[in-house]
Each structure stands twice: as C-alpha cells, then as structure tokens.
Amino acid sequence: MMSFFNSYTPLLELALFNALLAFSQYVVLRAGVFSLGTAAFAALGAYAAAIMVTKLGMPAWLGLIAAVGLGTVAGALVAVPLARLRGVFQALATLALVQIVLSITLNWVDVTEGALGINSIPKTIGLFGMFCAVAVVTYLMSAMGSTSIGRAFDIIREDETVAVSLGISVPKHHMIAFILSGAIAGLAGGLHAYTSYSITPNEYGFNMLVMVLAMVVLGGRVSVWGPIVGAVVLTALPELLRGLQEYRTVVQGALLMLSIIFLPRGVADTLIGTLRRRRITLASTKAKAVTI
Amino acid sequence: MLMQQLLNGIVVGSVYGLFALGFTLIFGVNHIMNMAHGTIFMWGAFAGLYAVTLFDVPFPVAVLIGALGGGLVSVILDWTAFRPLRKQGAPEFSSIVSSIGASLILLSLAQQLTATRVMRFPFDIFPIVAFNFFGLRIQLLQLVIIAIVVLMVVGLLYYLYRTSFGRQIRAVAVSEHTSKLLGINPTAINFQVFFISGALAGIAGVLIGIVFNSVHFMMGEPLLLRAFVVIILGGLGSIPGALIAGLLIGIIQTLTVAYLSAGLADALVFSTLFLVLLVRPTGLFGGASAVARVTRR
C-alpha cells in the first residue's frame, strides 16, 4: 500500500491540484458566469507564492496567504467590468486576461524570470497538505450550496429573468462567483508552486484553460462531485492512453464535444439526477401500495 | 519611418479585419463564439500551401483553393459541432465548449499531418516588386493584399445588403424561428454563413502565410486572440466595425513592436479589450440594439 502511494504520489498531487482548479471553474459556471480566467488566477497565485519564498525569503504559509490574496483581488478587479456583461463577453474578456497574465509573466523578467520560470522552489507541501486543501474547499463548496448564495447561483444559472424577478442581484452574485473563483485558483497555484519545485509561464496558458473547462463540463456544474469526477478522469486519462500519446489532444477534444452534445449536464449531475428520480418513483410506488 | 510602420500596420490590420469578418459574421447570425475559427484559418493556409507545393498552382488559384478549403472545413465544423446543439436549443455556453473541442481536434490533426514542422510558400509564388512613393517603400504584395481585402469587404456588404440571400441571412440573424415561418430554410442559410466565414478565414490564412513566410499548425491562435479584441472594439456583429477595428489593432501592434517592445504589444492589445469593456462595452459601432445584448440592464 505504501509503495503504491509512493510511486503514484506525483500523479495524486496532480489530480488534487486539478481538482482545486476545477473547483475554481465550477464555482463560476454554477453561477452562470462564463469565466475562463482560472488559469490566469492560478498563475498569479503560483508566482506570488514562488516570489515570496525564493526572492523575499518569507515562510511558505505567508506565501500561501499572498497567493490566495492576489487571486481574490484579481478576481474582484476583473469582476468590476465583467459582472454586468453577458456570458460570451465574459468568456472573451477572461480569455484575454489569461493572455495578459501570460505576457506579463513572460516579459517582466526582473520579477518572474521570464520564459525560464522560477526554479528550485523548496517543496514544503506534500500529498497530505494538498489533500487537506481539497477537503476544505470541497466542504466549503458543498456548504455554500445550502446557503442563500448557493441557491441564488443555481437560480441565476437556470434562468436570469426568474432570478431578477425574485429580487436576486445578478451582478452582485456574479461578482461573488468571480472572487471565489480567484481565491480558489490562487490557492491552487500557490500549492502547485510549493509541490512542483518549479513553475513556468506556459504551464498556465491556453492548455490549462481548456483542460480545466473540460473537467467541469465532463464532471458537472451543480453537485460538488462534478469537478472531482472530472479532475480524476482527465488526470488519469493520459496515463491510460499512453499508447495513443500523439492522439491525446484529439481524444480530449472529442471528449469535450461529445460530453457537451450528449451529456450536457455532466457525468456526476446526470447520475445524481437519475438516482434521485429512481428514488422518487420507488417511494411513490411504495406510498401507493400503502394507501391501497 | 513612422509612415512606413503605419503602412505595414495597415497591411497587417486589414488581414486581421478579414479574419475577424468571418468571426463576427457567425457571431452576428448564429450567436456562436466560434473558438475553432483560428484552426479554420490554419487549414485554409494549409490548403493553399499544399496546392502550391504539390500542383504548382499560381498565386490567385492558391488564394481560391485556400478559400475553398477554409469554407469546407467550416461547413463540416458546423455540421458536427454546432448543428446537434442547435437542435437541442442548447445555451451559448455549450457552443463555446463544443467549438473548443473541435479546435483541439483540428489542431492536433494538423500537427500530425505536418509533423510539427514550419512550412514555407516557395519564394517565387509572388514576384517581389517594390514601388517608391514619397520615400515610402510599398511592395506589390502589400497592394494586392489591401486590394483583396477591400474586394472581399465590398463583396460581403453587397451580398448581405443587396441580394435576396443576404436579406435571408439578416432575417435569420434577427430570429431563426420567425424566418422559418416566413419560408426561409435556416439550414441553407447556416451553410452559406459558415462557408463564407470559413472562406474569408482561408483567404486570410494564405495571405498571412505568404506575408510572414511561414505556415504552421499554431498560426491561427494569435489571430484568434486578436479577433476577440477586434470584434469587441468594433462592436458585436458589425462588419465595418470589424474592418476598422482590425486596422486599428494592426496599427497599434506594429507601432508598439517598432517603438516600444514586442513583449509589450500583446499586453497592450489585450488591455485595450478590457478598456473597451469598461468604458463602452458595445464597441465603436454598436447601436442601441447591441446594448441590450451586451449588458444586463
């Protein structure tokens, strides 16, 4: 058992990191925001954490606070122009944000070391730390589902007109979603910097954006199981498809297309919906049997 | 020097405009943000390049084949990625995701086909002739490119506003359901829209491939990202807006690269997008009807 963990530690860490990124994407999609900015927020978090430790000589916990803080601030700043815009424009603008962050991390060489990235970051966080972070975020997300914010998110996603008629402020909740997304992605980036020894700008580019989006689309956007299922499947997939190395991108693209066309709610949400319906029909037939 | 850079900016910008035109057409008619438009551009360039290297065709035929290739890929994309979603009445978000998936597939196939090489058009594809105007050096190729772009824009405007097909396209853009009641076949309209959009991207692909003397599988990505800025700056679905914003972005970029730094150009161009969204989300040419579609209140 121990040797199993040892040989798969990097993979498990990657899966947990992906799960955190997926949660950052999940929280915006749940609120009906088409943000694709997770990769940008994660890059900011990772660079904040790495710079705090390697250049300023701060302890790692302070670096993590800086990572979460920078992610949160970036999310809030982006939300100011974007919370009042419609979906497609949010998607375009956040895509541009990813590019802006990428070109800053590539070109501001004095601070970010440019294309080489920041190397030899001491590894201060292990599998257990990552696991704790994912557990806390999962708990917070599932707790959020039963607060007024979570319910408001669900209504906005399903029908904005209904949400407005119920007195829910759409821009305000979109802003909350952006801030949460920024904070979670910042945390993910910071943890990644402390587990992977080095970070480079191109890790946080278009590829990450697509992968994170694919995880949440495949997994599901409502239940907290969605991002976890998506992260596990898409982290394991490249390992399972080793023989098809060259066609990995094709498989990923096809998966994205097929799941949005044939399984638009995602694996986890569809499954949960089916189970719930079955339970209801069972209960109602039982109730009928009793009354007869 | 400044005038020379301005001229270069106009040439690059007009190709950006041509690329963004197809993007904004699909956006205006089908309300789809086609993330695979960059790969269609790339496949158009490939079609032109293979026609030249395998069959030794002259420049005009290469442009035509590029247009045909781009149009064909675009129509196939519509059938596989967007039509099933249209049937379900899926939200905008689904078509974005579906087109990202399609673009990954198209990109990866191109990478396999070319083994990640950077390819070039042969040097004699276009005669190198330069004119001197008041100290400005203008190449024949640059003039031809501007002429092609102007021709395409005028042709598209004529098609959309002066023919019965164009009237049908504009009707579908307003409401697909109502136009169906009026006897318009939306399937045929979507076919036309996607073909035209892909053909414009294909032409842009061949032109960019010749101007920068390189054709490779990632060539669409920077253009697609700039197209986002162009359509937001120009105003949603606006054809003159796309062209003028394309020129503006081309000039801004060329001048930044020439006078400041190449690294700054990207950051500046994409920051423009945020500035526009903050100050005037409908863009330069967005009318009152655009306001309702862009913002919430």
pLDDT tens digit string along A140-190? 999 998 899 999 999 998 888 898 899 888 889 999 999 999 999 999 999
User: For testing the chain A interface, which of B39, B99, B100, B271 should be mutated: the one with the most A CBs within 10 Å?
Assistant: B100
Phi-psi region of B58 (alpha: psi -120 to 50; beta: other; left: phi over 0): beta
| Residue B165, H or E segment | helix B164-174
Q: Which domains does chain A have, with CATH numbers?
A: 2-291 (1.10.3470)
Q: What is the rounded distance in angstroms from the CA atom of residue A138 to the CA atom of residue A20?
A: 9
Q: Looking at the partner chain, which of B93, B97, B108 has a beta carbon nearest the beta carbon of A256?
A: B97
Q: Tell me the chain B residues in contact with residue A29 when contact means C-beta distances shorter than 8 Å.
A: 93
Q: Looking at the partner chain, which of A88, A206, A213 has a beta carbon nearest the beta carbon of B97?
A: A213
Interface of A with B (CB under 8 A): 29, 34, 80-82, 84-89, 91-93, 95-97, 99-100, 103-104, 106-107, 160, 170-171, 206, 210, 213-214, 217, 246-247, 249-250, 252-258, 260-261, 264
Backbone angles phi and psi of B295, in degrees to 5: -100, 175
Q: What is the rounded distance in angstroms from the CA atom of residue A171 to the CA atom of residue A193?
A: 33
Residue B99 lies in a domain: yes
Residue in chain B closest to A246 (alpha carbons) equals B112
Closest CA to B105 of B88, B84, B81, B82: B81
Average pLDDT, chain B: 85
- Lowest-confidence range among A265-269, B27-31, B52-56, B291-295? B291-295
Closest CA to B263 of A107, A2, A264: A107
B82-124 pLDDT per residue, tens: 989 888 877 888 888 899 899 999 998 998 888 878 888 887 7
In the chain, the amino acid numbered A41 is F
Residue with tokens 């010749």: B210
Is A93 within 8 Å of B92 when comparing Cβ atoms?
Answer: no
Which sign, positive or negative, has the C-alpha torsion A196, A199, A202, A204?
A: positive
Q: Domain span at residue B99?
A: 11-220
Collapsing DSSP states into helix, strand and coil, what is residue B137? Answer: strand
Say whether the ipTM exceeds 0.85. Answer: no
Whether residue B240 lies within 8 A of chain A, CB to CB, comes out as: no
B36-49 pLDDT per residue, tens: 999 999 999 999 99
Residue B261 lies in a domain: no
pTM of the model: 0.86
Residue in chain B closest to A109 (alpha carbons) equals B263
Name the token pair of B36: 């695979």
- Lowest-confidence range among A63-67, B242-246, B267-271? B267-271
Is B101 within 8 Å of A34 when comparing Cβ atoms?
Answer: no
- pLDDT value at B53 more than 70: yes
Q: What is the rounded distance in angstroms from the CA atom of residue B36 to the CA atom of residue B107?
A: 9
Is A100 within 8 Å of B267 when comparing Cβ atoms?
Answer: yes
B145-181 pLDDT per residue, tens: 899 999 998 999 899 888 888 888 888 888 888 888 9
Q: Looking at the partner chain, which of B88, B221, B295 has a beta carbon nearest the beta carbon of A84?
A: B295
Residue B240 lies in a domain: no
Residue B94 lies in a domain: yes
The number of domains in chain B is: 1
Alpha helices in A83-126 (DSSP H): 87-107, 109-112
User: For testing the chain A interface, which of B270, B271, B272 should be mutated: the one with the most A CBs within 10 Å?
Assistant: B270
Residue B269 lies in a domain: no
DSSP labels, B245-267: HHHHHHHHHHHHHHHS-HHHHHH
B174-221 pLDDT per residue, tens: 888 888 898 888 888 889 999 999 999 999 999 989 888 888 888 888
Residue in chain A closest to B278 (alpha carbons) equals A81
Q: Tell me the chain A residues in contact with residue B88 when contact means C-beta distances shorter than 8 Å.
A: 261, 264
Name the token pair of B241: 């807006």
Residue B153 lies in a domain: yes
Residue B265 lies in a domain: no
The pLDDT score that the predictor gives to residue A28 is 92
Q: Looking at the partner chain, which of A34, A85, A96 has a beta carbon nearest the beta carbon of B96?
A: A34
Residue B131 lies in a domain: yes
